[in-house]
Amino acid sequence: MSPEQVQHSARQAAMIGAIVAHWIAVFAVPIFSLAIAALGLFVINVIFRQSVSFQTVFSVICYASLVRLVVVVMDLIVILRTDVQHYSPQMLTPATLAIFLDAGRTSKPLYEMATSLDTVRIWCIALSSLGLSLATGRKVHALKIFLTGLGIWMLVALGHAAFSALRP
């Protein structure tokens, strides 16, 4: 390929990548919220044997997820106020334990676990637990729901760390 063709292909790939990224952002958040709400409905209705509608659980999950807007604002501030050479796109907001680890010298599974231990995620789980406890009429204590949600999240994080160990 000539240099002009390579440059044209690179521009087309960047344009297609930007379009796909925007569509994923638009559709991934609602689909992810629906999946988390379905999991919350399963936990409340099957594990704790309480009757709560999907609409109520979905509302609780969506309202609790609004906390993530704090991270978006913090990320925008970091992007706009920091020089490009001084930040990592994978971890803009210092809200994880991974800020204390060196990615080059730390094992991949440990670094993935530290990256997944996010204060905002724990905050979302706590708010979801409180909302789901209120949705059951406080028949299920919020701490039980929180520990169940934290356990499920830990299993997912451990699975993610295990898969990261398999990658070269």
Name the percent of the chain lying above pLDDT 70: 91
Query: pTM (2 decimals)?
Result: 0.78
The tokens for 22 are 């925007």
Query: In terms of residue numbers, what domain contains 155?
Result: 3-166
87 or 143, greater pLDDT = 143
Strands (E), 30-128: none
Overall domain count for the chain: 1
pLDDT tens for 34-93 read 999 999 999 999 999 999 999 999 999 999 999 988 887 887 787 777 766 666 666 666
Q: Tell me how far apart the alpha carbons of residues 95 and 98 are, in angstroms, rounded to a whole number.
A: 8
